Structure 1
């Protein structure tokens, strides 16, 4: 349907830079901090928010002394801004893909405890074949990974999944099992014949997602079976830091069993009960079907999926309805 002149005029006069400024304001939760990040003066950022609200005819942020809250309209706009700005940020990469020697950039967002040999093998083989493709791996919480893929800021995500977002695709990579461990300074180190009851009341170290409502729900459920819940004395989103606190003797805590096999052999860590049927957590590769992938991104994703033995993606649709096989 052809657009009327009235429909075209708002689009032509709209300042799309305001969306980026709005996204930064929300991320920083403050006009002042947003101005510092954008290297603008505070009145400039405040005026940008006012202009955006005027152009849309909606109040986006409720502000006051000690208060900064998105309105319902502001929340809707922020979700859309993430996707819009993610798409804009990918334009240069997509336009640079001219079909000559493969170039481009891969952005992978992962949870910190992903230890999966097919991923390592895919990275090695892909780099050997396409050395001009650059790579960025960002480590964060599973919720951060999901948000990045949803906003098209990541080629793919690899993480734990508590609830599946309806706008994303999920493919199971592997299942890992968590065990409880302690370090050499802990009183339970080298103790044999322990039961789950022996862990009651102990100081605990864990991941921030070790919650009944989050990605490590199976671990949280096991903790709930302890006869006495000890205090949580340390948390982190990073496996290395959780492991550091356990080895340092701050408390006992969960770690992926296959990831710490060497530390157990070297007696830097000691496995605690339960020894049978440890909590299982599924690790997924997460993609955004609405994101237009560059050739390098698509080839890498197809290679990872093929090597991992999960369901293959469909063929890549290129401009002009041309199709490219993996």
Structure 2
């Protein structure tokens, strides 16, 4: 038995699913609302089921519609992948991209990347999964995310880690703190002051514990958090100092926070893109992937150099209109 519907009908269906409105969907695919309704009716007739429950106020998927929606999305994504390289379909398609990232990437760097991406592709929705490094890996492996940005790779053979840059850990403190006047701070000097830290569930904590096996703080931290961004809030509130990745720091113009490079030892971490091996990116995800790589090249600089690395990196990011993040 032949299937009596076409690509336009599937695109109309996806538009209604994503926008939740026949009017908005018609505007998105550049046709009249009656024409869009006819496409949906044609699809329903071809499948022999109702896909939407429609009232004067709302449009919702039926049970069958909810089952069919992921398959329709996959069909359209597969077609876009097939067309990639023949013509640029990303700028005209209505779709989405799911990105998993560690929280400080979501807080400082990705907002500027997303803003630039939205200006280029206003019809593509971005879903941001800001989670721990382990959860980023899980989202990539399960397919919940198209790819991830993290500082942890994986031993699993189906996951690949592409290095973007290396960054060093710095001492985050208030501008009125004694450490703010120094050019560099040893870990032992840091621990002479009240400090806050990340807890044992954090990937940063695991990295630091391994790198600082020979450094013993004389006292425990006064507060533990799960995420670096929360820890910076505590530092800003005056609870103490903290060791944070340099990219997590705001720029030079921040009125309260500053940072000083940490030495003896210099501790670095590798930040990169995590992908599931052998799984092609959709055109929408490929364009977002390219935007991240370009931001790194244009201004998302490494903090390996001498001097106040994070401030230099932040200044470069501002020149590229993209702040940095961990």
TM-score by length of 2: 0.54
1:150 corresponds to 2:141: yes
When residues 90 and 281 of structure 1 are mapped into structure 2, their CA distance, relative to the original with a 3 A threshold, is farther
Aligned twin of 2:288: 300
Aligned twin of 1:233: 222
Aligned twin of 1:130: 121
Aligned twin of 1:285: 273
- Partners of 1:182 and 1:188 within 8 A in 2: yes
Task: Give how far 1:103 is off.
Answer: 1.6
Secondary structure, counterpart of 2:105 in structure 1: coil
Secondary structure, counterpart of 2:98 in structure 1: strand
Distance in 1 separating the partners of 2:109 and 2:174? 30
When residues 117 and 226 of structure 1 are mapped into structure 2, their CA distance, relative to the original with a 3 A threshold, is closer
Secondary structure, counterpart of 1:297 in structure 2: helix
Task: Give how far 1:148 is off.
Answer: 0.6
When residues 275 and 215 of structure 1 are mapped into structure 2, their CA distance, relative to the original with a 3 A threshold, is closer
Task: Give how far 1:146 is off.
Answer: 0.4
Task: Give how far 1:175 is off.
Answer: 1.4
When residues 203 and 104 of structure 1 are mapped into structure 2, their CA distance, relative to the original with a 3 A threshold, is same
Instruction: Please list, as runs of the form range in 1=range in 2, the aligned pairs for 1:59-78 lying within 5 A after superposition.
Output: none
Aligned twin of 2:100: 109
Task: Give how far 1:90 is off.
Answer: 5.0
* Cα deviation code 1:132-176 (max 9, x no counterpart): 110111211101100111110001100111643321121111112
- Partners of 1:219 and 1:254 within 8 A in 2: no
When residues 275 and 140 of structure 1 are mapped into structure 2, their CA distance, relative to the original with a 3 A threshold, is same
When residues 102 and 306 of structure 1 are mapped into structure 2, their CA distance, relative to the original with a 3 A threshold, is same
* Cα deviation code 1:262-315 (max 9, x no counterpart): 36x556235456358632111110111354643322343355456656xxxxxx
Distance in 1 separating the partners of 2:185 and 2:261? 7
Deviating more after overlay: 145-154 vs 120-129 = 120-129
When residues 164 and 287 of structure 1 are mapped into structure 2, their CA distance, relative to the original with a 3 A threshold, is same
- Partners of 2:154 and 2:160 within 8 A in 1: no
1:159 corresponds to 2:150: yes
Q: Name structure 2 gaps, 5 residues minimum.
A: 1-67, 81-88, 298-326
Match among 177, 180, 189 for residue 198 of structure 1: 189
Q: Name structure 1 gaps, 5 residues minimum.
A: 1-87, 310-326
